[in-house]
Amino acid sequence: MSHSYDQKDNQVVIGLIADTHGLLRAEALEPLQGTDLIIHAGDVGREDILQTLARLAPVHAVKGNVDRGEWAEKLARDALVEVGGVSLYVYHGHEEPRLDPAAAGCRVVVRGHSHKPEVEELGGVLYLNPGSAGPRRFKLPITVMRLYIMGSELKPELVHLS
């Protein structure tokens, strides 16, 4: 499944969230406000979380290993999202990706599952994990991310929640 979004004013801001596990914290909404698009990298937990996020910006979500039920069946396992000429590959991370991001021309990979925030560049591909915005797991931080796309420049920003 592929989706395309246009770049406005030479900058697009994407909100990245994952692993809410049925809990959408109020403080997670603030850094997602004003974004052009929100990507949820799976383990949503409840359909109303996606509805709440959709009030802020268009939402693209993939299915995680805890997403069950009729609403979750509508979610794809993975997706290609085109934003302002930049290709992003989105999958939850509990299974191997179904494509080689570099060979597919993707500049960004967004994944969740580990609950660990990640910003890493490998082979010209930027790998991002926004961490978990849901229930705390072990001593891992509660986080979301903003990704700024300015022409061909990519700038991720990790946002720690209280």
The pLDDT of residue 1 = 45
Q: Beta strands 12-17 and 37-40: pairing type?
A: parallel
Q: What are phi and psi of 75, to 5 degrees?
A: -85, 140
Asked if residues 86 and 6 have their Cβ atoms less than 8 Å apart, the reply is no
Query: How do residues 86-113 score in pLDDT, each as one tens digit?
Result: 999 999 999 999 999 999 999 999 999 9
| DSSP label of 49 | H
Question: Residue 105's CB: how many other CB atoms inside 10 A?
Answer: 11
Give the length of the chain. Answer: 162
Q: Which CATH architecture has domain 2-160?
A: 4-Layer Sandwich (3.60)
**pLDDT confidence band for 137 (50 / 70 / 90):** confident
Query: How do residues 4-56 score in pLDDT, each as one tens digit?
Result: 555 556 799 999 999 999 999 999 999 999 999 999 999 999 999 999 999 99
Q: Tell me the domain boundaries of the chain.
A: 2-160
Mean pLDDT of all residues belonging to the chain: 93
